[in-house]
A and B are shown apart, each in its own frame.
Chain A
Amino acid sequence: MSETHEALPEQRRWMGVVQQIGAPVISVIIAIGIGSVIMWVSGYDAGAAFAALFKGSFGSPKAFGDTLLRATPLIFTGLAVAYGFSAGLFNIGAEGQLFMGGLAAAYLGVQLAAQPWYAAVPVLLLGAMAAGAAWAFVPAVLKARIGAHEVITTMMFTYIGKYLVSWLVVGPLKAPGQIPQTVTIGTSAQLPRIQTLFSEATLEALPFLRFGRAHMGIVVAILFAVIMWAILKYTTLGYEARAVGFNPTAAETGGISVSSTIIKALCISGALAGLSGAVEVMGVHYKIFDQFSSGFGFTGIAVALVAKKNPLGVIPAALLFGALSAGSGLMQLEADVPQKIISIIQAVVIFLIAAESVIQWFIKRRQKEALSHAG
């Protein structure tokens, strides 16, 4: 009797962990299952498709590098959406803030081409954060002051931002030549590829370090995930955001200014999304053009939900969606399955995580069974 009493807290903690990680994992597995069924119904070879998907995302150091490459912007947009969620805000317009961040980085990267990297890189990152935050500022103020729903306003700002960039790259910021894009940023402002940090001899000895196109942005991204985790957990800023997200009325009663917390939270979210655009410009394209983001802002929503709003959870979640995106090219090539299946799988994951109650119920039932067996 006394033995089970002592065992319970231990088991409870274990149950908590399972509930945190279990629901997203189950959701992803079910979604991949549904994706397979769709492929099968459509007459594709699902087995070959997933084999190619895996090969294209984890099959070789270069493939894994592609996964890291795609995961990098997703960590930032995932953090952006997750931070918004913590304060009860749905930043559906991360895509627009990403465009503004990319624009700032592309502009500053040309201006600061003569500067050494330790001056250029931080300024570009800060500039992108400022631009992303600025793009979230109007929706933030409208939300805080008069309650205009951020889903509509940030979405509208996404369209406005995309048209702004599409004008700048054919107009004032257009590089000489036929292609609508900006001038290439200075080498010192670029984020180097990971494999260039190692000598050829090291790469000979340790070939698994040949990460292909993956760049140092992933390190910056992981650093920011840790910083955001610490901010949410240990600072007043993060505490206030969580308090407002949990119960705005109680937070207001407790002396927290809800409206200024909302403005700060949405702007921080915008700044993180801006960084996502910056790493794409600084590590991948070295310039900005119309279609430079393949919807990272929207995929960030799925990343944040799978991470259950936890900044550290964003890292594996972004790796997952990065892998899906990296592998989808080879999947289309080898198994002929349209890449769009990835969006379908993404949507199913979001549905399942939104329907948390169902999965939680499922997990609790399993745990009850396990406990009753143990007892």
Chain B
Amino acid sequence: MLGDILTPDLFASALRMATPLALAAIGGTLCERSGVVNIALEGIMLIGAFAAAAAGLATGSGWLGLLAAIAAGVAVSAIHAFSSINLKSDQVVSGTAINILALGVTGFLMELLYGHPGTTDPVPQMLRPVFHFPNGGEGVLGTVWTWINSIVFSHTPIVYLAIAVAVIAQWAMYRTRWGLRLRALGEHPRAADTVGINVSRGRWIAVMMSGALGGMAGANLVLEQVGSFTENMTNGRGFIALAANIFGRWTPVGSYLASLLFGFADALQIKLQLFRAEIDIPPQFFLMLPYVLTVVVLAGVIGRAVSPAAVGVPYEKG
């Protein structure tokens, strides 16, 4: 049975499931490195998902759906940026407001545009896998190729995009002037201010980048995984992503790898549900798995992970 579970398909699915988490987690990383907590990722992702579905349905194009999701994510994150940076609101409360707003706005628009609550029609054009190679045949070489083909070459565009984002963000954060400044904003904004860095502008940019990534995560859910929008379809992924960001110690590649772990848990629970007859464990317990894992991971790692020093603290220009 183990052979039926540990298939190439399982690992490919882990990568797919990890993608929305990773994008949001990297968004969380950039945001928190600049000193702003982003509890709003859940809501940003949900609004991104809705925008992707609405634009996809209206235009028939998956790519325009992705663009709309990014734009919507940036727009919503701007509200968070304005209230936490300019109005100096409590960032966790502001993020919570965005999450409630996202539930309300997507539900409201759903009824306004489509006349019913629940789920939209399927988008006519999802984003298709980038490569189309046949699987290998019999024999060792054939099997090896099948594994490589499913894990590396079977994916849709945003899955590859997420990997690229992780690598580029890691490079930018540690190898560029922008990255050094970003980290300074979250560690010691006063020092950054003293050497002439514009604290609120830097934070605004980081929050909006996290909005773009959160929107992209929502687009992945609709355009590459589910095919339609359902109310509250993000189901806590924004919060799991925050945990992945912590587990990844506030680094983009770390966030990606942590998301892979959660993605694997999700892929595994989906796979195990196929074997319900043999395992005889209620499906609800499988569905709990990603959430339980998140708590376990947080419990195991937190003491050793240190958050950016100034995260969550509004900057008062002295």
- A-to-B contact residues, CB < 8 Å: 38, 42, 90, 92, 138-139, 142, 146-149, 151-153, 155-160, 163-164, 166-167, 170-171, 298, 301-302, 305, 338, 340-348, 350-351, 353-358
Contact = CB atoms under 8 A, between A and B. Distances in A.
Contacts, number: 138
A357 B105 contact: no
B266 to A, nearest CB: 13
A155 B299 contact: no
A350 B93 contact: yes
Given A156-B239, A344-B101, A357-B89, 13 more contacts: A142-B298, A147-B302, A149-B246, A152-B243, A152-B246, A159-B288, A167-B282, A301-B100, A338-B108, A341-B104, A343-B108, A348-B101, A353-B93
A338 B107 contact: yes
Main secondary structure of the interface of B (DSSP, over half): helix
B292 interface: yes
A263 B87 CA distance: 32
B298 A153 contact: yes
Top 6 nearest A-B pairs by Cβ distance?
A343-B104, A347-B101, A340-B107, A167-B284, A350-B97, A354-B89
A5 B230 CA distance: 63
Contacts of A358: 87
Contact of B103 (A139, A149, A343): A343
Nearest to A301: B96
Contacts of A305: 93
A298 B100 contact: yes
Interface of B: 39, 79, 83, 87-90, 92-94, 96-98, 100-101, 103-105, 107-108, 110-112, 117, 235-236, 239-240, 242-243, 246, 282, 284-285, 287-288, 291-292, 294-295, 298-299, 302-303
A185 B79 CA distance: 46
B110 to A, nearest CB: 8
A119 B89 CA distance: 47
B277 to A, nearest CB: 16
A344 B105 contact: yes
B97 A343 contact: no
Given A340-B107, A340-B108, A156 B284 contact: no
A38 B107 CA distance: 14
A343 B100 contact: yes
A354 B235 contact: no
B108 A354 contact: no
Contact of B88 (A142, A149, A159, A357): A357
Contacts of A164: 284, 288
A142 B104 contact: no
Contact of B236 (A142, A156, A167, A355): A156
Contact of B90 (A42, A142, A347, A354): A354
A347 B100 contact: yes
A59 to B, nearest CB: 24
A358 B93 CA distance: 15
A42 B115 CA distance: 13
B288 A163 contact: yes
A160 B291 CA distance: 7
A348 B235 CA distance: 22
A243 to B, nearest CB: 19
9 contacts: A148-B298, A155-B239, A156-B243, A163-B285, A166-B284, A167-B284, A170-B282, A301-B100, A347-B98
A341 B97 contact: no
Contacts of A138: 295
A253 B88 CA distance: 28
Nearest to A43: B112
Contacts of A355: 83, 87, 89, 94
Contact of A341 (B108, B291, B302): B108
Contacts of A351: 79, 83, 89, 94, 97, 101
Contact of B282 (A92, A171, A346, A350): A171
Contacts of B87: 354-355, 357-358
B100 A350 contact: yes
A360 to B, nearest CB: 11
Nearest to A346: B100
Contact of A151 (B92, B103, B110): B92
Contact of B96 (A158, A341, A344, A350): A350
A347 B78 CA distance: 15
Contacts of B292: 156, 160
Contacts of A346: 100, 104
Given A148-B299, A347-B104, A338 B112 contact: yes
